[in-house]
Amino acid sequence: MKKLADLKFSEIYPLYLKKVTKKNRSEDELLQIISWLTNYSFDQIKELSESEVTFAEFFDGCQLTPDASKITGVICGVRVEEIQDPLTQKIRYLDKVVDELAKNKSIEKIMRS
């Protein structure tokens, strides 16, 4: 089984997109929350989603929003705020905001504004 860090962003992005569009959310909304979390532009996210970059490289190259620490809750049975490994926590922050988008939470609430 691949480690989370070794997964390619290009393998996971389509799954995120499918998850949110199935719930009548748009790709622009997905890009908006990923951009908020990572400070990547929409174009950078699209480029990265078509590249061979791993999650480790994806998060190494970004500037996480200071509001990321406000992301709380359970993902895969684990509280995101209690995850000790910094990279795993960043990946789970991303999973959590994508879940919130798919659950029809408003963009403002997802972005903790």
- Residue pair 61/41 in contact (Cβ under 8 Å)? The answer is no
Per-residue pLDDT tens over the stretch 28-82 = 999 999 999 999 999 999 999 999 999 999 999 999 999 999 999 998 899 999 9
Residue with tokens 């791993």: 54
- Beta bridge partners, 78, equal 75
> Given this model, what pLDDT does residue 113 score?
78
Q: What is the pTM of this model?
A: 0.94
Task: Give phi and psi for 43, each to the nearest 5.
Answer: -65, -40
Going by the DSSP 8-state scheme, the letter that residue 65 receives in this structure is: -
- Radius of gyration (C-alpha) of the chain in whole angstroms: 13
| Alpha-carbon span 113 to 45, nearest angstrom | 22
